[in-house]
Amino acid sequence: MARKPYLKTQEGKEAITGYLFLLPALILLSIFLLYPMGTAFYYSLTDFYILRPDEKNFVGLENFSMILGDAAFRQAFVNTMYFTVLVVPIQLGVALGLALLVNKKLKFKVFFRTAYFSPVVMSLVVVSILWTFMYNPNEGLFNEILASLGIPEQPFLSSPDQAMNSIIVMSVWQGAGFQMMIFLAGLQNIPGHLYEAAEIDGANLFQKFLHVTLPGLKNISLFIFITITIAAFKLLVQPMIMTQGGPLGSTKSLVYHIYEVGFNYRDVGYASSMAVVFTVMVLIITIVQRFLIKEEEG
């Protein structure tokens, strides 16, 4: 008996169905992600100036060598790293703390959970505007509170030293609620009998947290760690709305710098080359993180 062609077999049919299911996603990804990424890579090798779309010249790696000497890029890079290195552990910690709080059998649990989560559903732009009011050195809420505690007024966003830290605090407040929900799901997945066993062994609250809760959350923590890191690298809205990258460039992030060069200064070629560098950077960091996670699991 002649063998059926592969596509006529049960296995083949399932494969076709599978690929058909994949198709819509693949098409959309190609149009809205892969194609733009490809063009960005192409533009990064040209001197594309937005007002002269028909006069793109191939300039090789000139844009990339310009990045090396670009003080603004360097500053934006340092700012972005600073933001990421601080925001990731703080946000992770705050999210875990909030999750532990609302996981307790408290009155008004639902209310607190909603309250902590509500900043997440607000638009980041809106939150940024509101916090700009609250950070206002003369009339803002925060200095009002500080004054009532007898602490001298702070300049917040208008000081090069405090602006980025102020943005970090706001970002954690806005973002932590989301990770809290993920942590909460993780907490509720830890079997109760583990805690019971720990109690029988005489473990105190802290020991239970250290030896039961934390190991139970390990995979979730790593997932959150990666997503926060990538999100932190994409810092844009907060400085754009709150400080316009100032004072003295102290809150200019990489993505903001790329946006400005590309759209305000119309230098799409150079902006694309910075975007390529940025993508490679995030890619490397993600791969390293993935690698570390694999190690941990193994």
Partner 1 sequence: MKRMSKWIIPVSMSVALLAACGGESNGNGGNDNQNGNSAGNNTGNNDNSEQPDTVETGSADQEVEASGEESVVLDMWIHQTGEDETNFYVERIDAFNESQDEIFVEAEVIIDDGASSYSDSINAALVAGNLPDLLALDGPYVASFAESDVITSIEEYVDDADREDFVDSIIEQGSYNGELYSLGAMEASIPLYYNKDIFEEEGIEAPTTIEDAWTWDEFLEVAQDLTTEDRYGLNLFMNYGVGEWLTFMGAPFVWSNNGELIAEDGSTADGYFNSPETVEALEFVKELFEEGVVDLNPGEMQFEEGGAAMALGGPWISVSAEDAGMNWGMMPYPYSETPVSPSGSMAYGITTLSDHPEEAYELMHWMTNEESTIGLSEVTGMPPTRHSAFEQMDHYDELPWSIIRDQVTETAKARPQTPAYPVLTDAFAQAFHAAALGEDVEEMLNQQLDRVEREIGRFQD
Nearer CB in complex with partner 1: 123/219: 123
CA-based torsion, 156, 161, 163, 167: positive or negative: negative
Which residues of this protein are in contact with partner 1, per CB under 8 A? 49-53, 71-72, 121-123, 126, 129-130, 132-134, 136-141, 144, 155, 158, 160, 241-249, 260, 263-266
Burial class (CB in 10 A: 0-12, 13-18, 19+), 157: buried
Nearer CB in complex with partner 1: 39/219: 39
Nearer CB in complex with partner 1: 152/202: 152
> How many helices (H) and strands (E) in the chain?
15, 0
Residue 169 CA to residue 142 CA, distance in Å, equals: 12
- DSSP secondary structure string for all residues of 165-226: HHHHHHHHHHHHHHHHHHHHHHHHHS-HHHHHHHHHTT--HHHHIIIIIHHHTHHHHHHHHH
Nearer CB in complex with partner 1: 169/212: 169
Nearer CB in complex with partner 1: 160/216: 160
Q: What is the closest distance, in whole angstroms, from the C-beta atom of residue 148 to partner 1 in the complex?
A: 11
Q: What is the closest distance, in whole angstroms, from the C-beta atom of residue 243 to partner 1 in the complex?
A: 8
Q: What is the closest distance, in whole angstroms, from the C-beta atom of residue 65 to partner 1 in the complex?
A: 14
Q: Which of 176, 17, 190, 21 lies closest to 97, judged by CA?
A: 176
